[in-house]
Amino acid sequence: MTNPKLNRVLIGVGGGIAAYKICELVSTLFKTGVEVRVILTRSAQEFITPLTIATLSRHPAYTDDDFWKPTHSRPLHIGLGEWADVMVIAPLTANTLAKLAYGMADNLLTNTVLASTCPVLLAPAMNTDMWEQLSVQRNWQQLLLDSRYHGMNTASGLLACDRIGAGRLAEPPEILAHIQSLLHTQGKRDLAGKRVLISAGGTREFLDPVRFIGNPSTGKMGLALAQAALHRGANVTLVHGPANWDVPLGVQAIPVVSAEQMQQAMLEYLPNADVIVMSAAVADVKPRDYSTEKLPKRSLPQALPLEPVPDIVAQLAQHKQPYQILIGFAAQTGNIVKPALEKLQSKKLDAIVANPIDQPDSGFGSDNNQAIFLDRQGNQVAIAPCSKLEMAHYLFDFAIT
């Protein structure tokens, strides 16, 4: 996702073994059309070189040596601070964190942060014991009180020091998604304090342990909705069917398989939600009979008896409170508006996404999407093909703000 008016990202790299992951981030950003500049702290150069960064970003890396060189142009930290639409500090070390928390500026990176006004994305990485120190957590919480700073959770796992625990740097695709969100929102947190409940993916209705009725949904749209809501400050719960992706750090995930399981989970979490987005592709029917053992091929019925599954979105509409916003999806072929309007009215939704699944690079399994948004007030907005994350932000722009 890129915005022609907001496509300049400045990355500050701290000194830690996780710095090598930033090479992938820089390369991917450049490939998506974002203009990238990188500041390497002195300790970061012990892990990756200015030449590596310059090659990947197609621009020389900035170091403290550049900061202290005499120049006849404007001061470097002022120019960089004004240039950036979004700043990223990754890996954020305990040392840089402490400096930022207390407004200190003794190198190019910290001076540039203070000379800028754009959103700053922080992705910490350090040893578990270091991350869990009271002083480090105090600095972290203090820094996040400033609305400019957007913090990413650390992941848990095997660290380079052979410790298993929290402190791993978020993976580059997750950092990239957060950058793309900030480029769209310009750092606004209009969902802060809101609880967003999202369903994602397809459900499976089994005939026996190995055969089921399902659909091609991968849950990528629901994943993008969860990312967008999280990046806008929401508390996110994601009820999802079988999926081949990682749940974003900070999102509460409720994995399910069948429509009945999804129904139970959605109704359980509904009372505490402010916004509900039903993006899952729920099966319409299920086999009437289930065999606990695999049926031999010769025993499969010529005509499979079916019965309907619960209409989850209709049940959500029946139980929702006036202050809650319920958004549905209508995956359609051909004329997508008419059936979406009918569903909007019959299910008593607040808004609906009419989603064409017969268009190239759109719908099930694709990284991109297109749609027409409709609401109960008669508003209609057509969204041209774009990334699913971008569409998720457009949906929240349309239905929430």
- pLDDT class for 60, splitting at 50, 70, 90? very high
Is beta strand 195-200 parallel, antiparallel or unpaired with respect to 164-168? unpaired
| Residue 347 annotated as binding site | yes
- pLDDT class for 130, splitting at 50, 70, 90? very high
- pLDDT class for 3, splitting at 50, 70, 90? very low
Tell me which residue of 65, 34, 294 sits closest to 183, measured CA to CA: 34
Instruction: Encode burial over 185-214: b for 16+ CB neighbours within 10 A, e otherwise.
Output: bebeeebeebbbbbbbbbbbbbbbeeebbb
Beta bridge mates, 277? 198, 327
Mean pLDDT of 92-121: 97
| Residue 329 annotated as binding site | yes
Answer whether residue 347 shows pLDDT above 70. yes
Query: Rounded to whole angstroms, how far apart are CA atoms 143 and 117?
Result: 15
Catalytic residue positions, numbered:
161
Sorted by where each starts, the structural domains of the chain and their CATH numbers stand as 8-185 (3.40.50.1950), 195-399 (3.40.50.10300)
Phi-psi region of 249 (alpha: psi -120 to 50; beta: other; left: phi over 0): beta
Q: Give me the chain's average pLDDT, please.
A: 93
| Residue 297 annotated as binding site | no
| Residue 312 annotated as binding site | yes
Instruction: Encode burial over 74-85: b for 16+ CB neighbours within 10 A, e otherwise.
Output: eebbeebbeebb
| Residue 66 annotated as binding site | no
| Residue 294 annotated as binding site | yes
- pLDDT class for 72, splitting at 50, 70, 90? low
Mean pLDDT of 340-363: 91
Instruction: Encode burial over 292-319: b for 16+ CB neighbours within 10 A, e otherwise.
Output: eeeeeeeeeeeeeeeeebbebbeebbee
Answer whether residue 203 shows pLDDT above 60. yes
Measured in whole angstroms, how far is the alpha carbon of residue 219 from the centre of its chain?
A: 13
pLDDT above 90 as % of the chain: 85
- Residue 1: the pLDDT is 47
Task: Give 279's contacts (C-beta < 8 A, 6+ positions apart).
Answer: 198, 199, 200, 221, 222, 225, 329, 353
* pTM greater than 0.85 (yes/no): yes
| Residue 348 annotated as binding site | no
Mean pLDDT of 258-273: 97
Query: Rounded to whole angstroms, how far apart are CA atoms 157 and 57?
Result: 30
